[in-house]
Amino acid sequence: MTQHSEVAAVLGGGSFGTAMATILAKNGHTVRLWVRDPETAAAINNDHENPRYLPGTELPEGVQASEDLIECLSGATMVFMAVPSKAFMEVLTQARDHVPEGTLVISCTKGIHADGFLLMSQLLVREWPHTRVGVLSGPNLAREIVEHKFTGTVIASPDADLCKRIQQALSCDYFRVYDSPDMFGVELGGALKNIYAIATGMAAAVGVGDNTRGLLITRSLAEMSRFAARMGGSPMTFLGLAGVGDLIVTCSSSLSRNYQVGYLIGQGHTVEQAVAQLGQTAEGVNTIRLVAERAREQDIYMPLASGLYEILFDGKPLPQVIARLMQGEHNHDVEFTMGSA
């Protein structure tokens, strides 16, 4: 695929932001990675390593880090938003006047904004209406990306030219970029799957069998599709990389932050202890709260998300919640194809 040189600002020096910066730099683009911590910025620039999030992994020299947000944005033709959802609005406000009209802005954050139950792309459209917005999502474990293991992702936007430019900027021999016009569905899938990664991590900690794991993952997909359909999205999007692909990886890999949090909780740690021990953002904890509350308000049947809410926030014992889940009502298997979503 023919490439032309871009100036990319990657906002967020966590594991995924660093992974995106690495691909962009290897593809010959000018890359500026914004990190809050001056020591991390110095380590990236001098030692070519992100010691906090990707220790032991050599980064290309083309990745230039800075704690100066405005400096990173100067002259950028595309901006990748990879900050945690809790900081997303703050960064949008700080950066708004420094992002020119028509700039491509790609959300890489898999979370939900509590005020108004908005996805990150919806915040971008509201706060930066002068930009062109897209979403990047898929089974994209950062460490595997920087280790050049074969990976697929989805760039989603109704803006076809935006999708083409992001495909050109990111595609390489180990990173394949597919496109989708369903920005809402792709982004919602990326947010929802974090809920179920926590569930499968908990299940692994208590020693469930492979049958149980298969049950959890497929019923998680059913809940995600059901919720998406009620929110106005297409459940068919969830059959792709940003749905079932991301769900399988996040629910199966010990590299998944949300899986790790669930595993620690399953071992008896509190939510606070698990998050603190992880040392990184696990978006699924907040997403469980928001989605379970929205499902209750909208009368959407989501027993797994509701059960997790009870365990994490109401202090219900895990065995008690599992027993109730197994005694719940029987539903169709692939229900959204039967018109009953």
- Annotated catalytic residues are 193
Give just the sign of the alpha carbon dihedral 78, 139, 17, 61: negative
* Angle (deg, nearest 10), helices 257-266 and 183-205: 30
Residues in contact with 41: Cβ distance below 8 Å, sequence separation at least 6, in sequence order? 13, 33, 35, 65, 66, 67
Three-class DSSP category at 118: strand
Distance of alpha carbon 273 from alpha carbon 260, whole angstroms: 12
Distance of alpha carbon 29 from alpha carbon 78, whole angstroms: 11
211: how many CB neighbours lie within 10 A of its CB? 8
- In 3D, which of 240, 256, 141 has the Cα closest to residue 185? 240
Distance of alpha carbon 337 from alpha carbon 273, whole angstroms: 41
Beta bridge partners, 81, equal 11, 107
Distance of alpha carbon 261 from alpha carbon 275, whole angstroms: 6
Helices (H) and strands (E) in the chain, counts: 15, 10
Q: Where are the alpha helices (DSSP H) in 111-182?
A: 120-127, 142-146, 160-170
Structure tokens at 317: 């014992």
